[in-house]
A and B are shown apart, each in its own frame.
Chain A
Amino acid sequence: MMGKLFSFSFLLQALAVVIAVLAFSYFDPFDLLISNKLTLRDTPAQVQQIKSIGELISAEYYGEVISSYSHTVKANKDTAIAQMKRDVMVVHKQFYRGLLNIINADLSDKSDIKKRIQSLQDSLEHYSYANAYLDVFESNIGRGKMAQQIKNFSDDSKQTNFFQYLAINKVSITYYNEVFSKELESINKIFNSSKIKNSQLILVGRGKVQAGFKFDSLTTRNVKVDTARNRIVLVGLKPQILSCDINPWFIPELGLKGFEIIEFNKNADNIDILKQVKLNCLDSLRNSAIRSEILIKAKINAEQNLKNLFSLLLNNKDIEVKILADTSVLMSVKP
């Protein structure tokens, strides 16, 4: 009886030790069992060039955005659909225009008709979705008939009506719709693939947008000093976004990161996906700055700050500064 009890308690203790060892090796709190060492090699940073610029930064926007691979995929999908919609419409219009051009040809001039047919075929070559469009066209009139009918048309003037018939009745918006829904299906297929669906990377981005004016092409012609009216007019300057950045560090002195990966899985552990999500963050940051009216504020601030500067430079506190984008004013502003 005692022997049995002893062996049972021994087994329990052994089990506890095994569990403790397994737990320790799994969590490895002191990095004793498996250690990771990530090191950056000491490589030189080389100055490629230092060039002259002229920029007045008059407004800065600091912001924080969040983006994920799902957001990026949705944005890319929307862009792809919008682009496809435009491209198919261009092909549709081009095709219709080409057919009308053939119909309006002088039937007695066979070489002119041939040229116009060739021109229609050539004009479609450079467009995306032209093949998809011709496929739909041929499936409606009968496969292979397009080439045959064009040949007949150029050989025999009796075929004139065929193109008139096509232009009026067949080449309708339904062709466009058919190509569009077919292509939409293939875009959906690409973006809804399981690989894309199962990839996730969530990123927080903190960055800065600077807006103001570029002085690179500024000459004395753009600066009009109207001493009689205590006014300086800067002509031909338009406020613009001068930079939009999210760096690895936002404020390094405070240890505040620019990009911070919140979550990622194995499928998204890829620099290309990381770049796409970062680009999406950057777009969001730029849009936030524009929504906050950074360009309007850049102009107001610049006028005020330049007024302060010119007041000091001219020792005249009543000076006023105006910034005008329109160069036509150059003529009306008195020097």
Chain B
Amino acid sequence: MAMGLKAKIYMAILCSTLLTSCQDKRYFTVSKVKDAAKLATSETIIDKIVIGNEEKKILRIITIGRARFVCYTQAVVKAGIDLKKIEENDISIKGKQISLHLPSVEVINFSYPFDKFKVDRVLQDDDLFAKIDVKDMEELFRQSEIDIRNLLPYTGIIEATEQKTTQMLEMLLRTLGYKEIYITYRKGPLMPKINPKEIQ
């Protein structure tokens, strides 16, 4: 017997619901303390002004309202090396001479602290039809964080951190009795590259 129209519609709705629910990514955070061995040797302070605009339109043509949000923000990035990634064959010792081939510099901590965000209330502008609410503000901060993260490899952090790590380790290795010290670094990404379109 042929399937009725109603049954077909119900089936279509059910299938689409199941398909969309499969695409819904769900993660959960496990609250626990993890072992780490990260040596942070540089701290970079980055300033960014977040300017957000919202436009409300009817029929996508007629603008009925505009809102503006301006906030001064600051990110603090600590970079260094992961000591756990040092392996036996990365170290060569010949008497009082030591050569280290260290893991690549990476971001040890990225902090975008909200308590340092300063909203410019003079430039902030809401009107009757358009308003940037707290959810919109969060969205703007997220977009801004992605911008800062993606900019990091071009800020000179890697070179500065390599230099500062070398200085620190040289002091330590001299205390351990080494006279000739050679330190090199592997090349690798500072942090994962993020494509804003993929996470929207």
Q: A residues engaging B (CB < 8 A)? A: 31-41, 43-64, 201, 206, 208, 210, 212, 215, 220, 223, 225, 242-243, 245-257, 259, 261, 264, 268-271, 273-275, 278-279, 288-289, 292-294, 297, 301-302, 305-306, 308-310, 312-315
Q: Which B residues are in CB contact (< 8 Å) with A220?
A: 171, 174-175
Asked whether A264 lies within 8 Å of B135 as measured between CB atoms, the reply is yes
* B104 at interface by CB-CB < 8 Å: no
Cα distance A306–B132 in the bound complex, in angstroms: 50
Q: Could you list 17 A-B pairs, sorted by A, with CB under 8 Å? A: A34-B57, A34-B58, A38-B54, A40-B140, A50-B45, A52-B41, A53-B43, A57-B40, A62-B34, A64-B28, A223-B172, A243-B109, A256-B27, A257-B138, A274-B137, A275-B114, A292-B31
Tell whether A252 pairs with B194 under 8 Å between CB atoms, given A63-B31, A264-B135: yes
Chain B residues touching A, majority SS: mixed
Partner of A48, one of B45, B84, B115, B133: B45
Which of A31, A45, A46 has the largest count of B CB atoms less than 10 A from its CB?
Answer: A45
Interface pairs A-B: 9 shortest CB-CB: A305-B37, A41-B51, A64-B29, A255-B199, A63-B31, A248-B141, A57-B38, A45-B48, A55-B40
Contact with A along B100-120 (1 / 0, CB 8 A): 000000001111111101010
* B96 at interface by CB-CB < 8 Å: no
Q: Which B residues are in CB contact (< 8 Å) with A278?
A: 114-115
Asked whether B41 lies within 8 Å of A247 as measured between CB atoms, the reply is no
Tell whether A58 pairs with B142 under 8 Å between CB atoms, given A47-B155, A220-B171, A313-B98: no
Asked whether B50 lies within 8 Å of A40 as measured between CB atoms, the reply is yes
Find the B residue at minimum CB distance from A53: B43
Cα distance A128–B30 in the bound complex, in angstroms: 45
Asked whether A38 lies within 8 Å of B140 as measured between CB atoms, the reply is yes
Partner of A32, one of B59, B130, B172: B59
Q: Which A residues are in CB contact (< 8 Å) with B108?
A: 55, 57, 210
* B55 at interface by CB-CB < 8 Å: yes
Shortest CB-to-CB span from A129 to chain B, Å, is 29
Shortest CB-to-CB span from A52 to chain B, Å, is 5
Shortest CB-to-CB span from B185 to chain A, Å, is 16
Find the B residue at minimum CB distance from A270: B134
Interface size, B (range): 35 or more
* B46 at interface by CB-CB < 8 Å: yes
Asked whether B29 lies within 8 Å of A62 as measured between CB atoms, the reply is yes
Q: Which B residues are in CB contact (< 8 Å) with A314?
A: 176
Tell whether A313 pairs with B134 under 8 Å between CB atoms, given A32-B60, A41-B51: no
Cα distance A40–B70 in the bound complex, in angstroms: 10
Asked whether A38 lies within 8 Å of B139 as measured between CB atoms, the reply is yes
Cα distance A212–B110 in the bound complex, in angstroms: 16
Find the B residue at minimum CB distance from A39: B53
Q: Which A residues are in CB contact (< 8 Å) with B149?
A: 252
Asked whether A271 lies within 8 Å of B143 as measured between CB atoms, the reply is no
Asked whether B142 lies within 8 Å of A53 as measured between CB atoms, the reply is no
Partner of B88, one of A35, A45, A62, A312: A312
Q: Which A residues are in CB contact (< 8 Å) with B51?
A: 40-41, 43
Tell whether A252 pairs with B145 under 8 Å between CB atoms, given A58-B35, A278-B114: yes
Tell whether A60 pairs with B34 under 8 Å between CB atoms, given A52-B42, A312-B86: yes
Tell whether A247 pairs with B168 under 8 Å between CB atoms, given A63-B29, A64-B29, A253-B192: no
Binds A, one of B3-11, B13-21, B156-164: B156-164
Find the B residue at minimum CB distance from A252: B194
Asked whether A279 lies within 8 Å of B115 as measured between CB atoms, the reply is yes
Cα distance A271–B31 in the bound complex, in angstroms: 28
Q: Which B residues are in CB contact (< 8 Å) with A51?
A: 42-43
Cα distance A279–B114 in the bound complex, in angstroms: 9
Shortest CB-to-CB span from B183 to chain A, Å, is 12
Q: Which B residues are in CB contact (< 8 Å) with A268?
A: 134
Cα distance A293–B171 in the bound complex, in angstroms: 32
* B180 at interface by CB-CB < 8 Å: no
Tell whether A261 pairs with B114 under 8 Å between CB atoms, given A37-B54, A40-B50, A206-B29: no
Q: Which B residues are in CB contact (< 8 Å) with A313?
A: 91, 98, 173, 176
Partner of B52, one of A41, A44, A208, A302: A41
